[in-house]
């Protein structure tokens, strides 16, 4: 069981799931904060769909860039390592 937790694919999957949970929590908090205040004079801003679209347009790209940066760093750290036991030797002509 412990060995499977060290596989890079498991780490990438866990990172992606945690990213999704964080992004959904941030979206929920931001939407709740926007809609729980006094009503806006712009009626469209008081709808859930408008708040979700603004989150997706303005904040989701930042979350996506953050995920990509973290995954690139993880790939550099946990990615494929060269297998030294299968070195090929050059054939001499």
* 36-79: pLDDT as tens digits: 999 999 999 999 999 999 999 999 999 999 999 999 999 999 87
Residue 91 has pLDDT above 70, yes or no: no
Q: What is the pLDDT of residues 1-44, one digit of tens each?
A: 567 777 888 999 999 999 999 999 999 999 999 999 999 999 99
pLDDT value at residue 92:
54
For the chain, report the end-to-end CA distance as a whole number of angstroms: 48
How far apart, in whole angstroms, are the C-alpha atoms of residue 13 and residue 53?
Answer: 26
CA angle 66, 68, 71 (to 5 degrees): 110
- This prediction has a pTM of 0.78
């Amino acid at each position: 069981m412990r060995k499977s937790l060290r596989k890079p694919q498991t780490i990438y999957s866990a990172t992606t799931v945690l990213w999704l949970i964080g992004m959904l929590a941030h979206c929920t908090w931001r939407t709740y904060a926007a809609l729980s205040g006094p009503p806006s004079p712009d009626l469209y801003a008081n709808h859930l769909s408008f708040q979700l679209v603004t989150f997706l347009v303005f904040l989701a790209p930042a979350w996506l860039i953050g995920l990509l940066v973290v995954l690139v760093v993880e790939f550099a750290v946990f990615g494929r390592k060269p297998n030294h036991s299968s070195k090929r030797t050059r054939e001499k002509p």
